[in-house]
Every structure is written in structure tokens, then in C-alpha cells.
Structure 1
Amino acid sequence: MSEDKLPEAAHASAAALDPFADPGLPAHEPRRTDIDEKAAKRAERQVSLLFVISMLATAGFIASYVSIDKYKIIDIFFFGKVGALNLALGCTLGVALFCIGAGAIHWARTLMTDEEIVQERHELKSSPEDREAAIREFQQGAADSVIGRRPLIRRTMIGAMALVPLSGVVLLRDLGPLPGVALRHTFWGRHGKNGLTTIINENTGKPLRPEHITKGSLVMGKPEGLDQDNHEYLEEMGKAAILLVRLEPDEIKSKKQLEWSYNGIVAYSKICTHVGCPIGLYEQQTHHLLCPCHQSTFDLADDGAVVFGPAARSLPQLKITVNERTGFLEAVGDFAEPVGPSFWERG
């Protein structure tokens, strides 16, 4: 073989041994913003504009939350009827977060240094030299980000990042103010004739009679007049939902509980007194009601007392009777105590 063919043969042999050899990095090509200061200024203004839009969207989020009625419904083409407040909050918060992300990406792709660097893998334990190198690289990265030389970007970014958390702070309003009287009164006490409210089967939507509640069954009830087309339906059902169970009168341990029942039928709040989960697991033999969230267990034959779990107080009982004219079960007024989770204002 001639000498001029030896390099070609060696190359072919190496390619055959390692067909997936690392080709290495291509030569670095500068971007337009690297060589044209006008283009860099234009990119700076674009990034800043995105951060400013984010700030305006955050302000719009807060304004929407304060000014738009939570029950207001609007009709949007293709989407139908939607809640105006939810739509406004979603759009403004989405724009605020998107503009921060888009601004950061545009900043990185147009103004930050984009030199390609290969870093070989090393042991997990870094040597002192490597730690010093990391600090130098961090400092170099801070310099390469040009944040020190681009005050407009720095100020608008800080403004956008400082304002967007206010969205979460404003939403904390839904955790307060203090419960006050919100849990002390339910739909049972607001409606009905002469303090009596017909009990409706939550599943069928029809009034309940005593014979509809058989021993061993668990029936879900709600007050008459609380329908799904009511704009307060979800809010009120979260407090007014009840469970009805038939016990033998001699199984009821409390005199007050017996007086508040009708022929052994007792009605209790469906809302767990721990953190407000809906209860729906009934053990017929023990008359225990189990909350599926944290396993709080209540004895329906003993004033709904807590027998296990983290709940701190008994389930509130609803006093019931029967309408002699219609034969329907009715609630006598409201719960005597607040429903749902315990809170520091109960006392």
C-alpha cells in the first residue's frame, strides 16, 4: 500500500472502531446582539416591555379580585357561560407569569453570553480547587449576564418579580377574615315556613318521608329551595349537607338526641369537624360514621361523639320532625352549633 493511502486507511479503521465518535463543538457564531449595540438595545427594550406587561397584569389581577363580583357570569362565544372573576384572575395571572418567563428566555437568548462550554464529569466530592472554580464561574456568569450594565432590565425584572407574589398574598384573603358567623348559620335557618324546612333527598331531588329511610341505609339530604341553579349552591351545600340514619329508639343514648330525632331517624351534618371533608362511610353494626380523609370516627348513637381520629368535637345534630299534613320530614330551625371544622372563635 502506498504511503499516501496510509492516513485514509487509518481514518477508515478508526471510524469502523468508533462509528459514534464525538464530533466536537462547531465553531462559535456570534449573534447580532453581540456585534450590534443597536440590536442589543432593542432586545433590552423588548425584555423590559415583557416585565412591564407582567407588572400591569399583576395589578390587573389584584384589581379584578377586588372589584369583580364572584357570582357574576358572562357569556363568551364558543365557551358559553363562565365566571367573570375566574376568567379575569386566570388571564391576568397567566399573562403575568408568562411575561416573566418569556422575558427571562428572551434575555438569555439575546443578551447573555452564549459561549459553548464543555464540562467533563467529575466525582461528586469536589476539591477545594473545584469549589474555587465554581465561585469564579458564578461571578463570571453574573458578569456575562450584563445585568450590571443593563439597569433597565434589572429594574423592571425586580419590579415584576416583586409584584407577582402579591397575587398569592391577595388570594390569602380567602383564608380570612376570621370565620365569624359564616359557619354558625346555614340554609336550614334562612328558609322555610314557621322555622320548618322540608328535607330533600340529595340524589333524587324529592322530599323525604320516614319510610324512605330504612335501617342500615345512609341517606343524603339538603334543604328545600337550595337548587343547583342557585348562585350560592356550592357555598351553602358545603354547610347545609346532612346525613340521615334510622336507629332503634332504645339504641339512642342521649335524651336530647332522642328528642331531636323522629322515630329513631337522626340527622347529622355531613361535614367533618376536623377539616371539613364530606363524610359518607357508615358502619351499620356499630352506628359509627367514618370520615375518609383522616379517619375521624363518630358514634351516631351517642350524640355523634368522636370515638377515634383527629376531630375535636361531635358532629352537629339537626332537629327534625314530620309534617302531619304532607308526611314529609322537616328540619326544625338550624343547627344549634357551628358546622364544619373547629375554629378559634367558636368559644
Structure 2
Amino acid sequence: MSPSRAGGRIECLDGLRGLAALWVLIGHAHILTGFKLPLIGDPELGVDLFIMLSGFLMVFHYQRRRGREPWEATSTWTTFWIRRYFRIAPLYYVMLVAALTLGPLIYEARMVIDAYNGVQPQLASRYLDSSLSNYLAHFSFLFGLSRAYSFRTALPDWSIGLEMQFYAALPFIMIIVGRVGWIKGITGVAALGALTTYVCHKVGYTFLMPTFLPLKMHVFAAGMLLAGALWTNEKRAYLFAGFAGYLVIAPIGGEMDWLHQITRLVLVLTFFALIHTERLPAAAARIAAPVSSWLGNRFFHNLGELSFGAYLIHLLIMQPVVAYLIGAVDVTNPVRWALTLLITMPVVYALAWLGYTFIEMPGQNIGKALTKPRARA
């Protein structure tokens, strides 16, 4: 049995998390500077990789703990939700307050950017709504369910609300999978998501961004399948990978053109190859195994640890930088893009390190302390 299936560390996960955040950051730099490149300039694909990783990690950690924390016990649900809340909420709350406080400054910068790029201006409400109702919608993580509040801060936090919806649903999904099996369970969950999406579209309840879980359930499910495959035989592992690939090309929850669908399929197959290297043909394994190991080195480990902070912070820094460069220097869009990254990335990752060290880690420690088994007297 491989270390991954035995419950050990999977080396490439840190690197994939870090690269997903970097993809989003670089993609937003493309959009804001008007420098258009396919794929790498599309932050939505980086978010899809994040979502897939989330689905994978939640199942992977569950499988490791299932002996002592079965989903059938309600205490497992409480423990799971507390841990996830304290992993996400502390830094998010700090950045939410920062975003709503700095909203007028960010909005002014965005108006300069949109005017320069000749695109429809962003809605003022996204940046300027510091009302109590907006705060409550975001502090409760219910904003992703509302068309009015789902895209109403300067943060890219639409996916954070989506993530919290997935955490809320996961125990129920795992119970279904445990009772009917992976293929039937995931098929039912994905079909329910697609049906809900269709009904919402028909009644006109649509979202500016795919903040509602059914819109992205198929991508979460793909990651879950790749994790579930770790505890199956080789034949079923390939079946799970094929099914995961089929799920991510479903034309819902984002761009629907063939290039995006092919890229999502490639992401699934690459992810599978990196975490199932021992099941690949020898020639493929000789390529995939060193890459998987390399993505687990110290640099990528640190990049992965800072990924959440970098994801939350980068637009608050990047938009004023781009607006300044538009007014200060007369250069081509590719040069402005490069200058934006040169200025933004060191600041973003320095702030992400501060957030990780002084907010994220203390928050995670609180979550662990609250869920630590009590010693019997």
C-alpha cells in the first residue's frame, strides 16, 4: 500500500494549493491590465483547481480519521465544522473588515482600470456597501446564497462562501456515499446539483458568480472521487478518474467553451497522475513521481501554506497598483502586467505570511483546542 493510501502525506498537495493561488493572482493581473492570454490569464481555472483540491482534502482527511471519527456520530459533524470554521474565519473576518473599510479607495482604482480597459464599470455596491446587513451576510457566510450579497466586497470571497456551503453539506454527502457507494452516491449528488441549477436558471434566480454550491458541486465531487480512489483497487481508481473527468466538463458553473472544458479535464488527469503515481504505467510514473515529490519541497510547502492569505489579499493590493501604473507610466499592456506582478507579489506574500503567522495559525490552534478529546477523570 502506498503512503497516500495508508494515510500518510501526499507530497504534491502543498504545491498544487500554492500554484492554484498563484494562478488566480496572475489571472487577475491579466484581466486588470488588459493583457489577454488564454488559460494562464483565466483566474476561474485556478479557482476550479482550488475547489477540486478542497473536495479531495476533505475526503482524504475523513478517510484517515474514519476509525475514530465516523460520520454517523453527530460529534464528528460538530468537530469537523468547528475545525473548518476556525481555519477559514479568522483571517477572512480581518480581510473582510479591511475590504469594506477600504472600499471607496478600491472602487476609485477600479473605475480608473475599467475606463482604461473600455469595459463596463463594476457596480458601486460591490465596493461601497458597508451596511450592517452586508456585514452580517458575510460574517455568517450566508452571502453565497443571496444574489444581492454574493458579490458585494472587494475580496474574491464568492468562493469562500461556496467553500463553507460545501463544508455544511459534506457530512450528508459522505453518509450517502457510505450507504450506496461512491459511483451511485456521487452521481446522485452531482445530478441533484445540476437539477437545482437548471431550476434556478428557469425561475431567473441567477448569480453574478457561481457562489451557490449546486453550480460547482460537480467540481467538488471530482476531487472527492480522486480521494476516494486512494482506497480502491487499480481498476476502480481509473474508473473514478474517468468519472471525475466526465463531471468537470459539465457545462455549468462558469465558462462553457471547449478550451475551458478541456483544461478542466487535463487538471483532473494531471491531479490523478500526481497522487496515484504507483498506479501509472512505468514510463508515465518515471515522469509523474519526481514532479509530485518536487511539488512537496520546502518552497512549495510554504507557498501552499500562504495560499489562502494570498488569495484573499491580492486584489486589495493589485487594483491600486494597476490604477497607479495606468496614470504614471506609458507602457504596453504586457509590460504593465509584468510591472504589476513585480510590485504586487512581494507585498501580497509578505502580508499573507503575517496573516498566516499571527491570525491563521492561532485560529487553527483554537479550533484544535476546542475539538481536542477530553481526558476522562
- TM-score, structure 2 as length reference: 0.22
- Higher relative strand content: 1
- Higher relative helix content: 2
Q: Of the two, which has the highest radius of gyration? A: 1
- TM-score, structure 1 as length reference: 0.23
Of structures 1 and 2, the one scoring higher in RCO (CA 8 A, sep 6+) is 2
